[in-house]
Structure 1
Amino acid sequence: MATTTINRTQLFRASCLALLVTSLSFGIRAGILGDLGVQFKLDKEQLGTITATAFWGFPLAVIFGGVIVDIIGMKKLLVLAFVFHLLGIVLTICAPYFGEGSAYWPLFLSTLLIGLANGTVEAACNPLVTSLYTEEKTTKLSHFHLWFPGGIVIGTLLVTLFKYIGLGWQIQVATMLIPTLIYGYLFSKLDFPVTERVASGVSMAGMYRALLNPLFIFMMICMLGTGITELFTGQWIDVLLKNVSSNAILLLTLETGIMVVGRAFAKPILKQFTPQTVLLISTILAATGLYLLSTQSGNTLFLAAIIFGMGVCFFWPMMLGFVNTNLPKTGALGLNLMGGAGMFAVSIYTIFMGKYYDDIVKAAAGDNTKAGVMVLQATLVIPIVLIVAFAGLVIYMRSMHKTQTIKDPVV
């Protein structure tokens, strides 16, 4: 395929729109989670299992997609994502027609389909972005991933607006059909490049060897923690804080709004700080914000949401950008294993915490006033551990840079 047929601006815009659908599914589901529980008589463990389905559907798709993307190409993966999104959205809308007592499985399956769609989008679009912008990978990944919090902002505002004017959750879910149909059409008309690994001539065996690098394994482990800290808190904030704030869903909107702004300014930030330094600062802010969310009430919660949003802002794109820049031979599979690890951790953690929430309520004879706060306080341990991990990463990368400078002195 001639390189002149590749329109990277249009491909990047279509990628952002596909990610917008992914994030709308998080934002809208976060806003309607309580309504689904009431209408279909689902307890928190059931809601946790349904929510977690999207998070383990995502890693299944992103890891499988990472394995085959070099073989079948990014375009075919995105066609598959479009089909999954379309089926998942329609099935969610139709869930009530299965009967009040039978809606659990349609919601479970529809959430799984949307999770598979979301993972397939990332499996194709992350390597697409790094292939299109090889000279500024981390910056463009940040710009691409700003549409994840951006979509959550749009989704939660739509939920708030639709609830205010009395429109039901089915109409809220149906709004996702519009960007889904648009991105499906755009991708069907555009030509795609090959992945960066294929273009650079790195063999499959070389890619798999690179995945065994201790630094890659360390970053994958850290991705478990950054994924939980960012996504679990965001997806469940309306449920966890509804008893301490009448505007819990607006806290999510504020937090993700901060993330949009931060990711938009990734380029000047990366001129001042290395990715590993940004990650260290981020974990400190995330831990501080999570502590405040779990201990404060009233208007102070909005300050907590701002601090927390600043903290988790760069987690996802910075982790992916760090790996692809410092370990480029890991290729598309490396990017997708990172994303899959983060989402898989969230899926397991969400199920566990849903049960933990219910156990607290049962122990308190039905009083759930403190249950959400206790879940947040348990989650606080994760960013505290990450502070130590990323401090070690900063020291390690600094020593590696000094060693490289000695080996390759400037002359």
Structure 2
Amino acid sequence: MAPQTAFVYLWTGTFLFAIANGTLEAVANPLVATLFPNNRTHYLNILHASWPAGMVLGGFVHTALGSQSWKLQLGCFLIPAAIYGVLFLGQKFPKSEASAKGLKLGEMLRDVGILGAAVVGLFIFLFFKDGLGPLLAGFTGNETFFGGQTWFYISAAVGGAILLMFGGASRWTLGAPLLFVLFITHVLVGAVELGTDGWIQNIEDAILAPGDGTKLFIFTSALMFGLRFCGHFIEHKLGLKPVGILVVCAILACIGLNMVSNVTSFAGALLALTVYALGKTFFWPTMLAVTSDRFPRCGAVAISIMGGLGMMSAGLVGSPGLGYAKDRFSGETLQHANPAIYAEYKAPTPSKWLIFSEVHGIDGQKLEAVNAIPADKRTPDQQTVVSAYISGNRETLKVDSIIPATMAGIYLLLLIYFKTQGGYKVVHIASEGDSAKDAPRKEPQTA
């Protein structure tokens, strides 16, 4: 098979897989929020326990079937799909509170408004420019068009159209400032949780012995799986409201990432990643719970947008941002240590991200060749390259910790805000067309 044909098949399959994942995210979160309106934090955390559970199972499947056909490995996805299909046969599910009150889409979008639409439009623009553009360039071989000013303007036009579409549907309301803040914060959640997950295993493998990163990744995923069943205990027994949980988690995640950046042993990494896992465990589902609790008029719209923003942030901000930082810090460290060695090992292709200047990191193939040499047999120049790479990884994690530190500040301000409003409360829609307000509501019966 020609490389171009293989690329088309791979991209198409990955795109369809992403559509399936996005559909599941868009449906499952509102469904659970509707089924358990008085205990959303607990049950959304249980729902999202499936994420780390899948990573643990995926790690074991890769270990057991890593040498087998890729078709067999990907075929394992059919097992849970078949189980879901059987479980859902004949089931009936309740309408969301907004749908039950007869609210139209425009009314659901009023809290999203122009502020929320601006965030969505920005990420659609980034997706077209930095995500779809390079892929289409690979399809067509026309890098000049899809990497140039024309495609930039097309991407901006699409993002602007999304803004106008959402703005018009919401009747040009500004939107709820609190929901706007939650959207922005969830962008940070996607960057620090999913984006960091995508890099931290490779970073730890570089700092520690090869394979240690995988072991630590499986351990932290298993820890997250267990902790996500404890949401009810934390909220009702320990007395931490959802925003209080988020404050504590952000602080722990910041501390954990700084600890990870300084590890020198497996035991130290185990402790550091435990702290980090404790921090990141409750971010995603608790953010969805807060949005559902405070904005029932949005129905499934707000948390679907929030989930999409988080996912796009991981792919457009988190992962490429960390990759850029690693290249920048590794390259700068090596250049300062020995300019001649840097000139020899400098990556031929520059690394770039958003508005930051282009940098040249360390050539990946040359670095891989050096890492394959036992440490006691490397030349001084080769050891300098490895040391610069490790130093860059450590600095990347320190910079990454700024994200949860920022989140901690935002959550603390939200905590103060809710204190001034009489405390955090679940909001319900009083009657059709009315503004949402605090009101009791029984959990719906399912058929």
Matched residues in 2 for 1:403 and 1:234: separation?
Answer: 31
Against the structure 1 CA distance between its residues 351 and 128, is the aligned structure 2 distance closer, same or farther, given a 3 Å change threshold?
same
2:21 match: 118
> Which one has the largest radius of gyration?
2
2:203 match: 240
2:419 match: 398
1:157 match: 60
Match for 2:76 among 175, 180, 184? Answer: 175
Q: Following superposition, which runs of at least 4 residues in structure 1 exceed 6 angstroms of deviation?
A: none
Shift of 1:137: 1.8
**Equivalent residue runs for 1:114-263 within 5 Å:** 114-163=17-66, 166-167=67-68, 169-211=70-112, 212-245=175-208, 246=210, 247-263=212-228
2:164 match: none
8 Å Cα contact 1:224/1:345 also seen in 2: yes
Shift of 1:244: 1.6
Shift of 1:236: 2.5
Shift of 1:204: 2.9
1:42 match: none
Shift of 1:161: 3.4
Match for 2:314 among 339, 346, 350? Answer: 346
Shift of 1:111: 2.2
Residue deviations 1:351-397 (CA, integer Å, cap 9, x gap): 34445545646344544632443432332211111111111111111
**Equivalent residue runs for 1:5-154 within 5 Å:** 98=1, 103-154=6-57
Question: More displaced, 391-400 or 126-135?
Answer: 126-135
8 Å Cα contact 2:56/2:221 also seen in 1: yes
User: What is the TM-score normalised by the length of structure 1?
Assistant: 0.69
Residue deviations 1:300-357 (CA, integer Å, cap 9, x gap): 1111111111101000111000111122212100111111111111111223444554
8 Å Cα contact 2:97/2:297 also seen in 1: no
Matched residues in 2 for 1:192 and 1:183: separation?
Answer: 15
User: What is the TM-score normalised by the length of structure 2?
Assistant: 0.63
2:145 match: none
Matched residues in 2 for 1:336 and 1:319: separation?
Answer: 12
Matched residues in 1 for 2:252 and 2:25: separation?
Answer: 26
Residue deviations 1:64-96 (CA, integer Å, cap 9, x gap): xxxxxxxxxxxxxxxxxxxxxxxxxxxxxxxxx
1:269 match: 234
8 Å Cα contact 1:223/1:319 also seen in 2: yes
Shift of 1:188: 4.3
Against the structure 1 CA distance between its residues 170 and 248, is the aligned structure 2 distance closer, same or farther, given a 3 Å change threshold?
farther
Question: More displaced, 365-374 or 223-232?
Answer: 365-374
Against the structure 1 CA distance between its residues 99 and 176, is the aligned structure 2 distance closer, same or farther, given a 3 Å change threshold?
farther
Against the structure 1 CA distance between its residues 153 and 395, is the aligned structure 2 distance closer, same or farther, given a 3 Å change threshold?
same
Shift of 1:269: 0.6
Matched residues in 1 for 2:326 and 2:81: separation?
Answer: 34
8 Å Cα contact 2:242/2:286 also seen in 1: yes
Unaligned runs of 5+ in 2: 113-174, 332-346, 348-360, 368-385, 426-437, 439-447
Residue deviations 1:138-177 (CA, integer Å, cap 9, x gap): 21111111111111111112223334xx435543322112
Against the structure 1 CA distance between its residues 167 and 373, is the aligned structure 2 distance closer, same or farther, given a 3 Å change threshold?
farther
Shift of 1:116: 1.4
Q: What is the count of residue pairs matched by the alignment?
A: 306
8 Å Cα contact 2:199/2:322 also seen in 1: no
Shift of 1:258: 1.5
Shift of 1:195: 2.7
1:13 match: none
Shift of 1:104: 3.8
**Equivalent residue runs for 1:353-364 within 5 Å:** 353-357=322-326, 360=330, 362=347, 363-364=361-362
Against the structure 1 CA distance between its residues 403 and 155, is the aligned structure 2 distance closer, same or farther, given a 3 Å change threshold?
closer
Question: More displaced, 197-206 or 309-318?
Answer: 197-206
Matched residues in 2 for 1:402 and 1:357: separation?
Answer: 42
Equivalent AA in structure 1 for residue 259 of structure 2: L
CA RMSD after TM alignment: 2.4
Unaligned runs of 5+ in 1: 1-97
Equivalent AA in structure 1 for residue 309 of structure 2: A
Indicate whether 1:386 and 2:404 are aligned.
no
Equivalent AA in structure 1 for residue 293 of structure 2: T
Q: Secondary structure of 2:206's match?
A: coil
Against the structure 1 CA distance between its residues 403 and 156, is the aligned structure 2 distance closer, same or farther, given a 3 Å change threshold?
closer
Shift of 1:193: 2.8
Matched residues in 1 for 2:92 and 2:297: separation?
Answer: 24
Percent of aligned positions that are identical: 28
Q: Secondary structure of 1:134's match?
A: coil
Matched residues in 1 for 2:321 and 2:206: separation?
Answer: 21
Q: Secondary structure of 2:299's match?
A: helix
8 Å Cα contact 2:327/2:362 also seen in 1: no
Against the structure 1 CA distance between its residues 389 and 189, is the aligned structure 2 distance closer, same or farther, given a 3 Å change threshold?
same
Matched residues in 2 for 1:305 and 1:403: separation?
Answer: 31
Q: Secondary structure of 1:393's match?
A: helix
Shift of 1:194: 2.4
Shift of 1:102: 5.4
Q: Secondary structure of 1:135's match?
A: coil
1:63 match: none
Matched residues in 1 for 2:397 and 2:71: separation?
Answer: 30
Q: Secondary structure of 1:158's match?
A: helix
8 Å Cα contact 2:253/2:276 also seen in 1: yes
Residue deviations 1:72-130 (CA, integer Å, cap 9, x gap): xxxxxxxxxxxxxxxxxxxxxxxxxx456754443333222222111100111111112
Equivalent AA in structure 2 for residue 252 of structure 1: F
